[in-house]
Structure formats: structure tokens, C-alpha cells
Amino acid sequence: MDKTETYIKMADYPEIQNKWIPSIGDIFSHRENGKVETNPIYETTLDWADGKTSLIPVAITWPEWRNRFIWLPHQDQLQEMVVKYRHPTIDEERYCAYYLYLDFYDWLPRHGSILERKGRINCNSMEQLWLAFVMKEKYNKVWNGDEWTSG
């Protein structure tokens, strides 16, 4: 899982952050006192007056803190974002994976080179590469090394 400053910066855009529905196992970066740390969401117990106990994800428990976090999507979460966008009518997972592979395979030589060339991105992890694919396919944006630009 990519936890680099570059990936954090790439993920810190409304197009991605607005898709986040916090759940157990998500990775996020939080900024306190200027530091950036990465921690998994964890559960806390809530004891009710009637004696019942509930497990609640901490990020959901305190939604007002959400703006203090930057969600770092896993590769599978990024793939899910784009397959539902590109192929909304396909129900069977095996076909979704097949078409996603074809879409990605078509896109990669044109935009996903790890070599720095004009019009191509420089990705150092699979998360960065898949995030670049999501941003290009869904929002027509390209990472220029500092920010997402129309591309």
C-alpha cells in the first residue's frame, strides 16, 4: 500500500475524497500539527444503556473529523470506481474484471508510462498508476507532478 507523500497529495482531491464512505480496513492520512501519518481505521465499542454492545468504526463515529483525514484508496477500491463508471450495466464480476483489464490495457501505453515523457505520468506504485487511470477516465484529469490538470 502506497503511503508516500506523493500518493497522499494525489489522493487529496474532491473527486476522490467525496467517494469515501469510511469502513474498517480503510487507510487514511491525518494531519495534526503539520504531521502526516497513516493509520488504519479501527473499531471502538459503544456500550448501550440496555446492556448491548456495538462495534463502530471511529471515523464514522466522529464525522466532524472527516475533513482532517485524507483517504488513501487501495488498488481494488480504485478499480471498483472506474469499472462501475465504464461498465454500469455489467453485473457479473468476471466480466467486469475482463472489461476493466481491456480498458486499462488500452490506456496504459498512452498515459501510464513510468518514463517521464510529454503527456505521460510518472507513477511509483500501482495505487498511483490506478489513481491516474481513474482520474483520466472519469474526470479527464492528468497528474503533472504537482496537481491534477485538465488533460
Digit-coded pLDDT (tens) for 61-120 = 555 666 778 889 999 999 888 876 666 666 656 657 777 888 888 888 776 554 445 555
Question: What residue ranges do the domains of the chain occupy?
Answer: 20-72, 74-151
Print burial letters for 93-111: b (CB count within 10 Å at least 16), e (below 16).
Answer: eeebeeebeebbeeeeeeb
Rounded to two decimals, what is the model's pTM?
0.76
Distance (Å, rounded) from C-alpha 92 to C-alpha 90? 6
